[in-house]
Amino acid sequence: MSSFFYRNYRLSYIEDRSLLHGLQNFWTKFWLVALVVTLLLLPLVLQKYWIYTLNLAAIAVIGALGLNLLTGYAGQISLAHASFLAIGAYSTAALAKAGVPFLLVIPLSGAIAALVGCLIAIPALRLKGLYLALATLAFFVIVDFAIRKAEFLTGGGAGTHVPSPSMFGYTLSGDQSFYYLSIGLAMLCAIFVANLQRTWVGRAMMAVRDSDIAAEMAGISIFRTKLTAFALSSFFGGMAGSLLGYYLQFINPDNFSLSVSVAYIAMIIVGGMGSVTGSILGAVFMTLLPEVLRISIHVLSRVLPALDVESKGAFVEGVVYGLVIILFLMFKPEGIARFWRDLLVYFRSWPFAH
């Protein structure tokens, strides 16, 4: 069935129901395989520092997928995503110290975060829009306070050590092996979310986002849908936090500040709301952006030493960061995902561009 030329229509129900549209085409398959092979081979050729950055990007992809489920699909705004990362990371620290194998620790940390996520879903049942944003902000502040105070568990403001991921005597160490763990998990999560949006659970979320009253009229339980969205979102956030804890090996409350929440919001805005591609592209973009900026600041300080940009690097990054959020919202509200799709359509229909 596979044809050499691109076709944008489906010939059978099986094709129509496929997870990735376009898999009937030779080139789509080709590029997909090429992407996976490249991702698998990358750590063999890259420097350690870039593997480190890619690991952070993969972790960010998992977190961003979670937030996108909640904000992009279910339409519930949240400023508390950093809290769920924190809960996941601290659960990991506690569980790993107790000697639980890491393949169990990661989902368990996610589950603990999901339980807390259900807690915050309770105010969400009554609030929306701006009030929900404020409630999640309050939740964030309270969790941050609790983490700083519960010193017996979290080490307080000083932070705590996270043991290396280990299982039955085997210890996962080094950036390369961690890369395969994080990228594998990120892929699994992406496939899960892509699948979810085709099921009734995902469609119910989108219905609630578009109009909660109409959704309820159609027989969708808003309570259950919002609860699911919050639980899944915080589950993903918890897993991302767990990986982050394992990877950084030392965590303190400053790793999970309000700016982390804002960073995740920025990821899904820049990437594209309600889109798996968008979550991935946004997370990678926002993780690579500081690195690229750091390099350009370094170069700039060589060229123009008088400006003294090097010492103010963090603030320059922050300014670009804020600008990126504002400019994307004003001029490209559908994010990179839309840009990417337009690009694909342009090349597919070339030379018959319209």
Partner 1 sequence: MELLVQLLLTGIALGSGYALGGIGFVLIYKATGVFNFSHGQLTMAGAYFFYMFQVQLGLPPWWSVPAAVASMFAVGVLIERVCLRRMVGEPAITIIMLTIGLGALLRNLVGLVWGTQPQAPVPLFEPGYLSILSVQVPRVYVWTLVATAIFIAGFVVYFSKSAQGIAMRAVAFHQDHAALSGISIQRVFALSWGLAGVTAAISGIMMVQLVGLDLSMDARGLSAFPAAILGGIDSIGGVIIGGLIIGAAESLAGGYLDPYLGGGAKEVVGYVVLLLILMLRPYGLFGTPEIRKV
Cα 24 from Cα 11, distance rounded (Å): 9
Which CB sits closer to partner 1, 1 or 308?
A: 308
Q: Partners of 167 in the beta sheet?
A: 170
Q: What part of residues 272-311 is at the interface with partner 1 (CB under 8 A)?
A: none
Tell me which of 80, 321, 335, 337 binds partner 1, using CB under 8 A.
Answer: 321
> C-beta of 155: minimal distance to partner 1 in Å?
14
Tell me which of 269, 280, 286, 336 binds partner 1, using CB under 8 A.
Answer: 269
Q: Total number of residues binding partner 1 (CB under 8 A)?
A: 46
The first and second tokens of residue 88, run together, are 């996941």
Cα 281 from Cα 179, distance rounded (Å): 18
Tell me which of 41, 319, 343, 344 binds partner 1, using CB under 8 A.
Answer: 319
Q: What part of residues 117-176 is at the interface with partner 1 (CB under 8 A)?
A: 123, 125-131, 133-135, 137-139, 141-142, 145, 148-149
Helices 335-348, 276-303: crossing angle, 10 deg rounding: 100
Q: Residue 279 in 3-state DSSP?
A: helix
Q: What part of residues 243-262 is at the interface with partner 1 (CB under 8 A)?
A: 259, 262
Which CB sits closer to partner 1, 294 or 348?
A: 294
> C-beta of 112: minimal distance to partner 1 in Å?
21
Q: Residue 303 in 3-state DSSP?
A: helix
Q: What part of residues 71-100 is at the interface with partner 1 (CB under 8 A)?
A: 71, 75, 77
Say if residues 221 and 67 touch (Cβ distance below 8 Å): no
Q: Residue 198 in 3-state DSSP?
A: coil
Tell me which of 26, 315, 346, 347 binds partner 1, using CB under 8 A.
Answer: 315
CA atoms within 13 A of residue 283's CA, in its CB half-sphere: 26
Which CB sits closer to partner 1, 145 or 250?
A: 145
Which CB sits closer to partner 1, 170 or 223?
A: 223
> C-beta of 344: minimal distance to partner 1 in Å?
25
The first and second tokens of residue 123, run together, are 């105010």
Cα 307 from Cα 332, distance rounded (Å): 32
The beta-strand segments (E) located in 47-130 are none
Which CB sits closer to partner 1, 141 or 248?
A: 141
| Interacting residues of 39 by C-beta distance below 8 A, sequence separation 6+ | 183
> C-beta of 127: minimal distance to partner 1 in Å?
6
Residue carrying the six token digits 């969708």: 220
Determine, following the binding rule CB under 8 A, whether residue 37 of this chain makes contact with partner 1: no
> C-beta of 135: minimal distance to partner 1 in Å?
5
Cα 97 from Cα 88, distance rounded (Å): 14
Which CB sits closer to partner 1, 164 or 257?
A: 257
Say if residues 82 and 284 touch (Cβ distance below 8 Å): no
Q: Which residue pairs from 219-228 have beta carbons closer than 8 angstroms and sit at least 24 positions apart in sequence?
A: 222/125, 223/125, 225/74, 225/201, 226/74, 226/76, 226/121, 226/124, 226/125, 227/118, 227/121, 228/201
> C-beta of 297: minimal distance to partner 1 in Å?
12
Q: What part of residues 322-351 is at the interface with partner 1 (CB under 8 A)?
A: 322-326, 329-330, 333
Q: What part of residues 207-226 is at the interface with partner 1 (CB under 8 A)?
A: 212-213, 222
Chain positions contacting partner 1, by CB under 8 A: 71, 75, 77, 123, 125-131, 133-135, 137-139, 141-142, 145, 148-149, 212-213, 222, 259, 262, 265-266, 269, 312, 314-319, 321-326, 329-330, 333
